[in-house]
Amino acid sequence: MNLLYSEIEEDLRASVRAVLTDHCPPSAVLARLESDSPCDMDLWRILVELGVTGLHVPEDRGGQGASLRETAVVMEELGRFVAPVPFLGSTVLATTALLACDSDLVGSLASGTTTGALAVPLTAAPGSPFPATVSASADGLLTGRVTSVVDARAASLLVVPVAGPALYAVRADAPGVTVTEVVSLDMTRRIADVSLASTPGVVIASGDQATAAVEAALRAGAGLLASEQVGIAETCLEQTVRHVKDRHQFGRAIGSFQAIKHRLADLWLELVCARATARHAADALTRQADDADVAVALAQSECADLAVHAAEEAVQLHGGIGMTWEHPAHLSLKRAKVNQLALGTPGEHRMTLGHMVHLLMDIPSRR
Amino acid sequence: MTHSGHIRDRVRELLAAHDPGSTDRLEFLRARFDAGLAWVHYPVGLGGLAAPRELQQVVDAELDEAGAPDNDPLRIGIGLGMAAPTILTYGTEEQKSRFLRPLWTGEEVWCQLFSEPGAGSDLAALGTRAVRDGDDWVVTGQKVWTSSAHTARWAILLARTDPDLPKHQGITYFVCDMTAPGVEVRPLRQITGEAEFNEVFLTDVRIPDAHRLGAVGEGWKVARTTLMNERVAIGGAAIPREGGMIGIVADTWRQHPELRTPELHARLVKLWARAEALRLTGVRLRQQLAAGAPGPEGSGMKLAFARLAQDISGFEVELMGEAGLRYDDWTLCRPDQVDFTGRGPGYRYLRAKGNSIEGGTSEILRNIIAERVLGLPSEPRSDTGPWKDLPR
Ligand SMILES: Cc1cc2nc3c(=O)[nH]c(=O)nc-3n(C[C@H](O)[C@H](O)[C@H](O)COP(=O)(O)OP(=O)(O)OC[C@H]3O[C@@H](n4cnc5c(N)ncnc54)[C@H](O)[C@@H]3O)c2cc1C
């Protein structure tokens, strides 16, 4: 078990952070909020060139041959900047599903020539039943609807779970595909409802392999989301510390008031503990450890609420300015709050966790 | 000198020369100290091999497997965790060779004469006086909440040597002989019913100048070393998953389905997750130390530990139902060791209350994190003048 960041991971972090500092300042994210192009595809192309979309894909399948640990570091940085790019939907969820399917398509996602999305509701948790809202006709045409799919609008390739179970690859521009963006609480990572009406697709897995592929994607997604949550919390804490040192009221920096110092000390401590769980999850997923499921559930249990707490403290301790649209604090708050629901709520993860570590309630659990 | 193969050889040599099955316990511990296997990161000749700290785990595991006796660390926690690192850092060669060996073997128990009725969190306000008299210092004052004073042979002691200076500057650090004339130890009962700590009255106690640690007036600097080590000692031990209090509660849960409710279940799993997260934080901290890059995370461990211990032990009493109404034993006793997880749920609940007070209260630790880790400004101060003029 290695819970530290390696030198290579720190180098990767530095390059991603440099790109995001130049190309993803809060002003740019704010400016894009109500535009019709929610994803920053220029930024996405720069990140693709850095190679971050193929980190956890083996070289012989068109990737960088690194691991989910490195991908998790990228998630931390993207979380810090609340970057509007389809990394979660394409690089984490769709790519991990394709990796588990021996599909050639994974290479194009890894190289960034294609952007993908996994057609499951963003609230789907690891361990939940295989989604079956889409069905295939006898001649292989797909019909059905999947709500709340993350990063769907940016995707040209949809990876669709189909009753059976099976997993299909569907081109977003295929006949009968409608992607309807909804008004999202997190405007920097939007969701969309996807409908298919007699849409042609290609089977990429069926039976147990399809189930395992979706489960692997949800598990990796939840595990890596913890790293994003750590990134969000870290930046909220840093910005808030900077603000309270700077802002004076009653003739003193507000950061010299103990009521504020103690809240920030507590937040820092929560962050310290949550980071250990996020690293543990990324490490366990990479090693395919026996207790990877425990590690993921634990990380979500701790990191999801931490990020919300950090973002809420950031708004509160910035006072009126924290409530102001032009200030970026609400970007982190919205991302953190949506993440709390994404890929299983902390409560759902704790239910699963209790079951896995044999702390049973007399009610049947999902696992 | 430092790799684990070499260390294993040393352990084997020790075991060959002193079979734990047939060697007297104390004799074995002394031999272990002399072989440099007491605390391997200490210098050669002082119980160590100047080796990396993490190799201690190798030694402990090998000796444990061979059935060797340990030095009963719960009985001598203050010596091991606080006095020893301070003596190592500030002691003279004579002091180191006189004190460290019997400290480690447990032949001599240590206690900490720091807190006073008027100086707890604000330890630097302490008023116990030490006045120079020839080669000795004459010490008078009162200390309080002194754990293991009733079993201790030696104490680390802070006393004021110059009341005219500001409070941090006029303090000197001593080693006090608890058997010296003028030292009176009275049991002080705590909320658990027992008297783990004491009041200590010092009346014209003579301490030779040779038992001073660090320079005259430098006591605060020396004490900082002690306090830092104290917090690490309280919050920093390596444990397996479900080690400590959470394991006890989890076992109760598994063995007693009749106690379960959905509400308790949700809380238990949350506590389990927090305990596991804190355990992993400790693992990560030790990995950082081993990699030679200690982070500021250490300052938070004791704070997190105290809160978790209180939440788990409070939960446990509720979980126990009717059994939670009872207590194991209120008899006033003077225990010779401190075990946070020993005895019953009621004791654990009450003892855990001390975790956020002893070794720096949780409020003081939050101040420290806010100021030293986050860099936030300190409170405006009104105590910078000479100690003798401070309001009290
Ligand atoms: C079980 C136990 C064992 C102990 N063993 C020893 C021992 O062996 N040797 C020894 O020397 N001492 C020992 N102590 C004493 C311990 O170090 C002190 O109790 C502790 O430092 C607090 O001091 P105090 O009791 O005077 O409380 P106070 O300092 O009076 O604090 C009272 C309350 O005020 C708060 N407070 C104080 N200052 C501030 C501030 N600046 N900001 C915010 N809040 C503040 C505190 O957090 C606390 O909640 C022990 C204590 C306990 C409970």
CB-CB contact of A255 with A231 (8 Å): no
In which residue are the tokens 């400290």 written?
B103
Q: What is the 3-state secondary structure (H, E, C) of A287-355?
A: HCCCCHHHHHHHHHHHHHHHHHHHHHHHHHHCHHHHHCCCCCHHHHHHHHHHHHHCCCCHHHHHHHHHH
pLDDT tens for A133-152 read: 999 999 999 999 999 999 99
Atom number, ligand 1, closest to the C-alpha of residue B362: 47
* Three-state secondary structure call for residue A198: strand
Give A-chain residues touching B297 at CB under 8 angstroms.
272
Atom number, ligand 1, closest to the C-alpha of residue B354: 53
pLDDT above 70 for A256? yes
Rounded average pLDDT over A161-190 = 96
Record the tokens describing residue B288, joined without a space: 């950082």
What pLDDT does residue B63 have?
A: 96
Residues of chain B with pLDDT under 50: 1
Best substitution site from B78, B121, B142, B191 to test ligand 1's pocket, by max atoms within 8 Å of Cβ? B121
Torsion-angle region of A321 (φ positive above 0: left; ψ -120 to 50: alpha; else: beta):
alpha
pLDDT above 90 for A175? yes
CB-nearest to B281 from A244, A264, A276 is A276
Q: Give the phi and the psi of residue A273 in degrees, each rounded to 5.
A: -70, -40
Q: What is the ipTM of this complex?
A: 0.89
What pLDDT does residue A364 have?
A: 42
What is the pTM (predicted TM-score) of this model? 0.92
Compute the nearest-CA separation of B374 from chain A (Å). 7
> Inter-axis angle of helices A329-341 and A208-246, to 10 degrees?
150
Q: Give the phi and the psi of residue A144 in degrees, each rounded to 5.
A: 150, -175
Record the tokens describing residue A152, joined without a space: 């769907």
In whole angstroms, give the CA distance from residue B221 to residue B173: 9
Best substitution site from B75, B76, B78, B115 to test ligand 1's pocket, by max atoms within 8 Å of Cβ? B115
pLDDT tens for A207-249 read: 999 999 999 999 999 999 999 999 999 999 999 999 999 999 9
Closest CA to A314 of A238, A225, A245: A238
In whole angstroms, give the CA distance from residue B64 to residue B76: 19
Taking an 8 Å cut-off on Cβ atoms, the answer to whether B370 and A262 are in contact is yes
pLDDT above 50 for A367? no
Taking an 8 Å cut-off on Cβ atoms, the answer to whether A273 and B253 are in contact is no
CB-CB contact of A166 with A203 (8 Å): yes
User: Alpha carbon B20 to chain centroid distance?
Assistant: 28
In whole angstroms, give the CA distance from residue B28 to residue B17: 10
Record the tokens describing residue B193, joined without a space: 């019913």
Tell me, yes or no, if A234 comes closer than 8 A to chain B by beta carbon: no
Rounded average pLDDT over A267-272 = 98
Query: From the CA of B361, how far away is ligand 1's center (Å)?
Result: 6
What pLDDT does residue B232 have?
A: 64
In whole angstroms, give the CA distance from residue B86 to residue A151: 58
Q: Give the phi and the psi of residue B68 in degrees, each rounded to 5.
A: -75, 150
Best substitution site from B75, B145, B310 to test ligand 1's pocket, by max atoms within 8 Å of Cβ? B145
pLDDT above 70 for A366? no
Ligand 1 pocket: which residues have CB below 6 Å?
Answer: A 258; B 111-112, 114-115, 120-121, 145-147, 197, 354, 357-358, 361, 363-364, 367
pLDDT tens for A351-360 read: 999 999 999 9
In whole angstroms, give the CA distance from residue A205 to residue A214: 10
* Three-state secondary structure call for residue B123: helix
Task: Tally A–B CB contacts below 8 A.
Answer: 123
Give A-chain residues touching B363 at CB under 8 angstroms.
262
Give B-chain residues touching A9 at CB under 8 angstroms.
none
Taking an 8 Å cut-off on Cβ atoms, the answer to whether B273 and A350 are in contact is yes
In whole angstroms, give the CA distance from residue B317 to residue B138: 48
Give A-chain residues touching B276 at CB under 8 angstroms.
277, 298
Tell me, yes or no, if A272 comes closer than 8 A to chain B by beta carbon: yes
In whole angstroms, give the CA distance from residue A299 to residue A295: 6
> Which domains, from first to last, does chain A contain?
7-114 (1.10.540.10), 134-206 (2.40.110.10), 211-356 (1.20.140.10)
Give yes or no: B230 in active site.
yes
Pairing of strands A248-249, A252-253: antiparallel
What pLDDT does residue B2 have?
A: 53
In whole angstroms, give the CA distance from residue A195 to residue A190: 16
